[in-house]
Structure 1
């Protein structure tokens, strides 16, 4: 029996696995496709559940169609999602667009401060942006509508944006100049408003959408065939996209279909083995892709994040983005350059080497807003605890950094202090594997066209 998430109070259904018609060989190939396709959606569900559903959890931010602000920088204690950005305090708004659109109101912000609202559909695609680059710093009222809304916006709306899915995420970033600047950031955040259209428009009304019974996330849910249960659940919040109809038809032969139950325990042994083998194949393809394409900078973050038109349904790229740094910005908004290996192509490990990173004179990262290099633990993908409480080095810190004699800049990336005379330029690393991410906000053209060359980490024997 089919069930619909929209229009029901709870999800009541029978198994769709009776429709498992693929042979084991076919199932393995389809499961690989479905794993790469569905992983970002399920990873997004994890974050949504912790931030908007689990009100008693430590990472809860706000209910749907309300906003939660974090008026502090991220630290190693923040674990809601991997590879967090500690330069721009976040605000979070999960949008339920089933009943009606919502209006995002932005306040005016001073011209020298970067801010943005990244609009993300349930596929983790960045379907639009508000803020400095796209709408300026003057503020305004912006209507976010689901895929089925056909109404007329009120006169006070500056722009209408449509989402492919009925569940969407508005992720706000507000540039923080220094710790003394937190009060100013908090004031800006207080001006971020999320208002259902019926409340924004006088004399209007809308019927409330029925409540949803959200399944609780489980350990390893993204790593096994359990992923497909959550994928089916989430896909019920978006109408099939035309370019994916044949793909979804193929998925249905192994029980993957929007709004259907999926119980791996109901499978025959050879069917479940085929699905797990397909998932392993997907992981192996990603591992090779990361090693040969991402770590070598042949594929950039700008290739991995964007809207559907930009990604062109490249599900390996979308998977890679979600795996290494979910909710990354599109190329026009920010460039992300990863330091996973050194200048010899060897994975970086601060228990084996110290490292230097040298920028030639006049060759710092070219940004119209700002740049930042952040350190992450290779195992947890979180920020690294250290005695300086320093998780990054950014362009705002340049007056405090010590330049080289020739006018260049050398950073020391290592676990132990390089000495008091060099500590201003020290980016602390864990005593083990790590990676760094260089973020360039509003990158200049020379970043994308290759004119500016990324300097590499140079190992120094301990």
Structure 2
């Protein structure tokens, strides 16, 4: 549903625990249950690490952005060449930073931005919780200075800082989206991006910097390594997620994990396992993945073929409900909370039939006066149904969005039809053409800053506005 893991991380995690012929021997129900719990709990954490490793650690990766405590600006929108994140957003050029909070907090600044341009700064911890927002909806477009503090910081808010965001983990990622109105607008976006700044608190205060924290030996992660040893990555990452503050509730759970060899900061397994335990752990991991998949498929409501569910991915909403957190990551890691953006998604037409660009042509028609009711903007993005990545096409168009409306053609009755097919619908309709793959289709709407008053999108699936279904063109 949103950015930044490795090529098709969702597909990686489908095969993360390969099918096995379990031995017909006694298995410990306790060990199986613990392994299932650990897999569900760790699924988004390991998935997140795959992205962080490529973006901020592995300088040899073609997805590498920058070092910790630096800002990287992507002065373009995402294309099929961007494969590190499934269902990438191609509406808004991205800026990123990953803050190392072990030694001291960091301060980041956003510039004053014209009222018409939407932007957001989504703050995500290692658990994948959204722990804070800055932007058009959350704080306005007048600019400001904000601070991110790690789990062990206990100071007071410094003068000149508008707000302090407390992160539960030693590292925090910021995903910054800046609206692009059209291709000619990219130079304006670049100027906005120059105003995003980050610096250590000591530099901001003009004080001596604290001691540099010890270097971390980051374990390499790729598809094969993650499939071979997912619990080893979880054990490593727990060391960066101290069970303090709200996370104290996890102490007993982490003690259970140690019973099957998953101990914070130690290699997995941290103790010798019997053959029966190894079998039980493999079974539990398989059950964990199946539970996440089943729960993801059942979340939310289906309206006119579109699947919509309410995302509130923070400690308050997910504390103890690790299956919900894992399901959000499976559906689309780094998904915004619904108040920031709502994401109807579909693989089927309005009648429940699978979408396939090799077999059919489709349309989506918004009746007159019934475009998505948002405070910012909306889009419909096309993905390859197998990989959930953007697709190459003759006109390099990956989405239809509201800034494109002036160049699109409306029907005689004022309605707007989007043509979804792999080949051009003809010169007279090409302005409304969303190119499809020659195969399975995955569609995602993005409704930024959705309205709560009628006609409303919120609460997701229960607002007064409903997305029109995808229908066969014939």
TM-score by length of 1: 0.90
1:137 corresponds, among 120, 141, 154, to 141
Q: Per the alignment, do residues 293 and 34 of structure 1 end up closer, same or farther by CA in structure 2, a change over 3 Å counting?
A: same
Mapped partners of 1:405, 1:318: distance in 2: 45
Contact 2:105–2:150 (8 Å) recurs in 1: yes
Mapped partners of 1:319, 1:267: distance in 2: 27
Corresponding residue of 1:201? 205
Corresponding residue of 1:442? 449
Corresponding residue of 2:465? 452
- Are 1:47 and 2:51 counterparts? yes
Shift of 1:108: 0.9
Contact 2:357–2:421 (8 Å) recurs in 1: yes
SS in 2 for 1:29: helix
Corresponding residue of 2:251? 245
Q: Per the alignment, do residues 397 and 209 of structure 1 end up closer, same or farther by CA in structure 2, a change over 3 Å counting?
A: same
- Are 1:234 and 2:241 counterparts? no
Corresponding residue of 1:375? 382
1:323 corresponds, among 296, 317, 330, to 330
Contact 2:261–2:271 (8 Å) recurs in 1: no
Shift of 1:285: 2.5
CA offsets, 1:248-282, max 9 Å, x none? 23222212232121149964443333222222222
Contact 2:381–2:399 (8 Å) recurs in 1: yes
SS in 2 for 1:82: coil
Corresponding residue of 2:438? 431
Corresponding residue of 1:399? 406
Corresponding residue of 1:78? 82
Shift of 1:205: 2.5
- Are 1:256 and 2:276 counterparts? no
Mapped partners of 2:419, 2:144: distance in 1: 43
Corresponding residue of 1:3? none
Corresponding residue of 1:116? 120
CA offsets, 1:216-265, max 9 Å, x none? 003245545x1111111111112221332332232222122321211499
SS in 1 for 2:161: coil
- Are 1:412 and 2:419 counterparts? yes
1:149 corresponds, among 125, 147, 153, to 153
Shift of 1:207: 1.2
Shift of 1:295: 7.5
Contact 1:296–1:345 (8 Å) recurs in 2: no
Shift of 1:182: 0.7
CA offsets, 1:364-394, max 9 Å, x none? 1111000011111122211111001000000
Corresponding residue of 1:210? 214
SS in 2 for 1:161: strand
SS in 1 for 2:31: helix
Mapped partners of 2:367, 2:428: distance in 1: 20
Contact 2:261–2:273 (8 Å) recurs in 1: no
CA offsets, 1:70-109, max 9 Å, x none? 0011100011211111111001101110000000111111
Mapped partners of 1:299, 1:273: distance in 2: 36
Mapped partners of 1:448, 1:313: distance in 2: 25
Mapped partners of 1:382, 1:338: distance in 2: 14
Unaligned runs of 5+ in 2: 1-25
Contact 2:261–2:270 (8 Å) recurs in 1: no
SS in 2 for 1:352: coil
Mapped partners of 2:200, 2:288: distance in 1: 40
Contact 1:82–1:382 (8 Å) recurs in 2: yes
349-358 or 128-137, larger mean C-alpha shift: 349-358
Corresponding residue of 1:302? 310
Mapped partners of 2:392, 2:416: distance in 1: 24
TM-score by length of 2: 0.88
Count of equivalent residues: 438
- Are 1:273 and 2:279 counterparts? yes
SS in 2 for 1:368: coil
236-245 or 133-142, larger mean C-alpha shift: 236-245
CA-based RMSD: 2.0
381-390 or 416-425, larger mean C-alpha shift: 416-425
SS in 2 for 1:254: coil
1:349 corresponds, among 352, 356, 374, to 356
CA offsets, 1:330-384, max 9 Å, x none? 1111111102222122332222222211111111111100001111112221111
103-112 or 269-278, larger mean C-alpha shift: 269-278
Q: Per the alignment, do residues 325 and 291 of structure 1 end up closer, same or farther by CA in structure 2, a change over 3 Å counting?
A: closer
Corresponding residue of 2:391? 384
Contact 2:293–2:327 (8 Å) recurs in 1: no
Mapped partners of 1:265, 1:377: distance in 2: 43
Corresponding residue of 1:13? none
Shift of 1:210: 1.0
